[in-house]
Structure formats: structure tokens, C-alpha cells
Amino acid sequence: MTVQGIVLLVLFVAVLVVFGFIVRMLIRTLKLGKPEDRSGNIGQRINSVLVYVAAQARVLSQPAGLGHFLIFWGFIFITLGTIEHIVGMIVPGVSYTAVFGPVVAGVISWFQDILAFLVLLAIIVSLFRRFVLKPVRLKIDDPGARQEALFILTLISALVLLMFGIKGAGILMGKVDPAYAPVSSFVAGLLQGRGLDLHMFENVLAWTHHLIVFFFLLYVPYSKHIHILGAIPNIYLRNLGPAGTLSRMDFEDESAEKFGNSEIRDFTWKQLLDLYACTECGRCQAACPAYLTEKPLSPFNMIHRMRAHLMDERGKLLKGQDGEKGETGAEGVEGTPIIPETMTTDEIWACTTCGACMQECPPFIEHVQKIVDLRRYLVMTESNFPQEMQAVFRNMEVNYNPWSIGFSTRADWAEGMDVPIASEKKEFDVLFWTGCAGSFDARGQSVMKAVVELFGKADVDFAILGVEEMCCGETARRMGNEYLAQTLIDGNIDVLKKYSFKKIVTACPHCFNTFKVEYPQFGFEAEVMHHSEFLLDLLEEGRLKAGKIESTRGTYHDSCYLGRYNDILDQPRSILNQVSGVEITEMGRSGKRSFCCGAGGGRMWMEEDIGRRINEERVSETTKLGVDTIFAACPYCITMFEDGLKAGEIENVRVRDIAEVLLESID
């Protein structure tokens, strides 16, 4: 081993040791968070890494992702080359050719050359987009973020150019096969005949390259590129269950001093890992209805600022953890509140919980749960929430619905229709859950009547709970009032267990999602179907037969809790396609990328006095298509669309539920 090799070895080992200490500190920081079980399903988790890391599936779901794909794989092969060169300088004669043979080594070299060149092209495009085009997804509050991005891209570019120089010199010295290095061969041609001391030239470039790599290795944990360390484990540990599920709070824990999250250590370790995983690609921001209508919330900035908050807090909290022997989570140290230092209440209440941010996020960050956890603290510990929510909570407590309407009138919509009541029937095939909107909102009631008439035509054995039905608890949960939600949930479960039925059918996606993915948390499981699924089954079984309506050119709006959260995309469209006279024109933002109507997350009952109204934004998108009908399958969406049409004084467009259209075609 040469003196140069010894120096490089000592430096390399020192860097790895320091890097190991930094990683240890990052892991200790995660342990500040509360416990959460993300074990199990190892095969599925490994598959997630293959699909979303190796194949970059979510990254490539948008055209701009191709650049990141190239940079990712280019960096992998550049790193392979770096490892070979460092080991070769420490132990002369060791190379991929010596270990694997010339063919394998040549293939690695070829991919390294081609991908590294494509990396340079991708960086040029990235710089142009970031500093010239400035897309909405790359806007961030932190002014230093753009400078850091430029610095990182400059470092990567330097590594690529130095690599080409090293390999070009290697070709001229006979150390690299030019047949497997097309770009480096071009560089070799530029170097040839310039009177360079090739050994010295290669050595200077190699040391420069390796020192940059060492610096990069120690710099990454303190930069936006910490996602290099956090994204892969975050994808492996992603939520494999239903996307719309919220965590259940334990109100029987007598040691709890508060409810909800107010400090960074109140989050779970997995929620803290999310902060490491953020790539700052801004896709969440570009999809967020709150941000796009000029609300203060940006999921991008939220994660960015929470990570900065974590980094600021960790020294104090870790020191407290070490000082309080036997304690975990540094309970003896007072943490800095997240609200309002890191997030404002306006940001927290702007969220519609639509899940668009999580749908777009390449490393599977879970934004909505964090916002709901902060809401829980504001509502249940601080009693700090928008004024209009006070009436909503009171109505739910007294009359079991968000409206100030007596619970005794819940079944009045069905008068004169001979609708079976569960308490009278006891056993039936289908429990039709009407929900609060279907029971008390005039527009929702018309949808319920249409569904009931269709049930009658198909001879469905069903019943409704009537006055025994209470709000499913979804709105209270997402507003942060978990205690009220659990009270409603427990009450409903007690009622449901009294009757014998095969499935629950509901026309409300919010009720549907709650029964399907959240009631099992509380010990109640049943087959749950949205009315679009159930009506389609009736059509396919021949129990209903769609007919014809007056020629209508419409568009279908995907409800967030139906399409994005529960993958029910084709069923409503299939029903509409069976109705003669209906022509569907898809919106630009549809399917899982549908734009929220603005009613979710309790926003249905809150004033929208900041920025533009989300429902009006969505209505303008539909009317630009020149349609005369907006089809929907959610009572919230119908209400928001009709309000948006009225606000825009648009009189030639109507909003209809799929059940209303199907019933008209049959009649």
C-alpha cells in the first residue's frame, strides 16, 4: 500500500465513522417520537422498494420525474465507479475487471458513462425549470432552499465532469477500455496531445472527486438531500392499509396530560421519519386545493418547516433525554410549541383532508394525519377552533348531526315512500345508511329517494335505521374532535349490533370510508358498499336495466373519499355509460388526481374567507368543458357544486347524482 493509499484509507474510514455517528444521531432523534408499529408484510414492503425506489414508479408518474429517474440511477453508477476507484487507490490492482471480469466491468462502465451524461442533461433541464420556468410546485417559503438546490446540483455536475476526466485520462493510459466508455472516449480525445502529465492529471481529478464525495456524504444529513437517507426506509415502512385511515386515540390512558400534538415529540417516530424523507419536489403543493386557491397552507412548506423545527429541537430534547435517566422522549424538557411558531392555525384549518398531497408524494409522506393530530390538540386541549365549529360540535352532541335539526326528524325524508325501518324489520340483506346530508339536506334527500326507488325496482331487501342513526363521526374526527367522534362511533356500533344484515350501502363517500376503514378500529366490521358499486351490481345482475334520458353532455367529478382514497373510479362511470343519451367529457384533473370540491375535513361547515373558494375553482374547470351537467356521487360534492354555480350565476348547468340519472332512465 502506498503512502497515498494509506492517507486515503485513513480519510475514508474517518469519514465513514463520522457519518455513522451522524446516522446514529438521526436515529436517536426519531426515537424522540412516540411508538408506532410498522412491522409485518415484509414481502409487500420489499416489493414497495422495488416498485417505488428501483423503478421510481411514482416519480415517473409525471413527465418531470424522468430527470430525477436519470439522476437517481446515474448517481448509483457514479457511486459504483467511485467505490472502485477509491479501493483501487488504496489497494493497487483491485478493480471490477479483476474481480468480475472484463465484460461485467465493461457493462458497468458503459452504463456509468451513458447515465452520467444523461444526468448532466437532466441537471440543465432542472436548472432551467427551477430558475426560469419556476413551476408552482417548486415555490417554497425558505429563500435559502433555491441556493441549496443550486449548490447540490453544482456538486453533482462537478462529480460527473471529474469522473469523465478521470476515465478519459485512464483511456489514454490504457487503464480503461474505450469500447465501454463512449463519452469518456470523447473526453480522452480532447485531452490527447495537450502535453499533460496524465498520471498527475488523473490523480488531481481523483482526489478532488473523492473529497467532494466525502464532503457530500457528511453534508447530506444536514441538507434537503437528507431524503437520500430517509426516503427508502420511509417507502419500506409506508402505510400498507387504507389511505384514508386516521389513528385511534386512547382516552383511557390516565397518564395523558393533553390530547393531540403540540410539540414535535408528540408525533410518532414514523411521522418524524416522514420529515427526513421529503424530496422537496413540491408535487404535494401543486396538487393541494388549499394552496392552489391562495390559502396559507402548503404541504410542501409544512414538512419543510417541521423538519427545520425538529432539527432545532433535537439538541435540547436529546440532551434532556440523556439527562433524565430512565425516561424516554425527554419528558423532563419543555419543547417548543409547533403552533404558532412553525404552523399557524389558518394553515391547519385550511386543509380539506382530500389526500391529494399523499397521492402525489414519491416517498409516501402522510401529511393529513399530522394536520389532524394538530387539530386534535387545538380542539380538545386548547378549545381553539373556528367559531362556526362550535355550533357544529354542539349539534352533533345534541342531535347527532351537524345541522341544528332535531334527531327525531332524521327519517322524515322517507314519509310516504314505505321505507322499511330496521327496528321493525330486524333482519334484512342491506342496511341503507342515509347519512346526515341524506337525512337533513334537501338536496341530499332527493338522492336518498332516488336510491330507495331503485331498490324497490330491483326488489332489494333493505331497511334504514331512521331515528336510531347518528352521524358516523367522520366530520368530527377530521375536525379534530376525536372524543366526540368516538362517542358517535360507539353509539352507532351499539345500534348496528342489534340487527342482522349482510352489508351496509351508503350514498355518501365520507360515511362509506368511515365504515369501511375506520369502524374496524373500534371492533365493528361489515361489508360496506358505495351506492355506485351496489347499483352497478344490480345492473350487471339484470335486476335493473338502464334506459334513455334526454341527450346530455356532462362530466363526472371524482369525490376524494371515493376515488382517491378507495379506488372507486370506474363504477360510477360504468353506470352513466349504460344510460343512453349521456355523453361524458373528462376533466383534466380526474380520477385519483381529481380536484377537491372543498367540503372535506369539516370545511363544509366552515367559512372560506381566505383566497378563492375551492368549489368555485372546481366549477370553473367543469364549465370550461362546455357541459350542461355535472355528475357526482357524493352529497357534499353536489352541495358544493350547486353553491359554486349559484355564486358564478351559471344557470345552464345542473348537478345530478348518478342514482338520479339512472332512475330517470328507467322511469
Rounded mean pLDDT of 258-282? 95
Are 429 and 462 a contacting pair, CB within 8 Å? yes
Question: In the structure grid, which three cell numbers stand for residue 446, read together?
Answer: 332527493
Tell me, what's the pLDDT at 187?
94
Max Cα–Cα distance, the chain, nearest Å: 100
CA dist., res. 12 & res. 5, Å (int): 10
Tell me, what's the pLDDT at 339?
95
Among residues 1, 9, 6, 12, the alpha carbon closest in space to that of 91 is found at: 1
Rounded mean pLDDT of 132-142? 75
User: Higher-confidence residue: 333 or 564?
Assistant: 564
Rounded mean pLDDT of 637-659? 96
Among residues 356, 363, 364, 365, the alpha carbon closest in space to that of 593 is found at: 356
Q: Where does the pLDDT of residue 323 fall: very low under 50, low under 70, confident under 90, or very high at 90 and above?
A: low
Are 90 and 5 a contacting pair, CB within 8 Å? yes
Q: Is the pLDDT of residue 587 over 80?
A: yes
Q: Which residues pair with 431 in a beta bridge?
A: 463, 504
Instruction: Give the type of residue at 60.
Output: L
pLDDT in tens, 69-99: 999 999 899 999 999 999 999 998 899 999 9
The DSSP string of 453-514 is HHHHHTT--EEB-GGG----SHHHHHHT-HHHHHHHHHHHHHHHTTSB-SEEEES-HHHHHI
CA dist., res. 609 & res. 35, Å (int): 38
**Structural domains of the chain ordered from first start:** 3-34+41-222 (no CATH), 264-327+334-381 (1.10.1060.10), 387-537 (3.40.50.1860), 543-666 (3.40.50)
Chain-wide mean pLDDT for the chain?
A: 93
Are 122 and 159 a contacting pair, CB within 8 Å? no
pLDDT in tens, 49-58: 999 999 999 9
Are 582 and 576 a contacting pair, CB within 8 Å? yes
Are 70 and 122 a contacting pair, CB within 8 Å? yes
Question: In the structure grid, which three cell numbers stand for residue 173, read together?
Answer: 493510459
Q: Is the pLDDT of residue 142 over 80?
A: no
Give me the count of residues in the chain: 667
Rounded mean pLDDT of 136-153? 77
Rounded mean pLDDT of 106-110? 94
CA dist., res. 608 & res. 207, Å (int): 58
Are 140 and 303 a contacting pair, CB within 8 Å? no
Tell me, what's the pLDDT at 132?
83
DSSP 8-class letter at 637: H
- Which range (331-335, 359-363, 470-474, 644-648) has the least confidence? 331-335
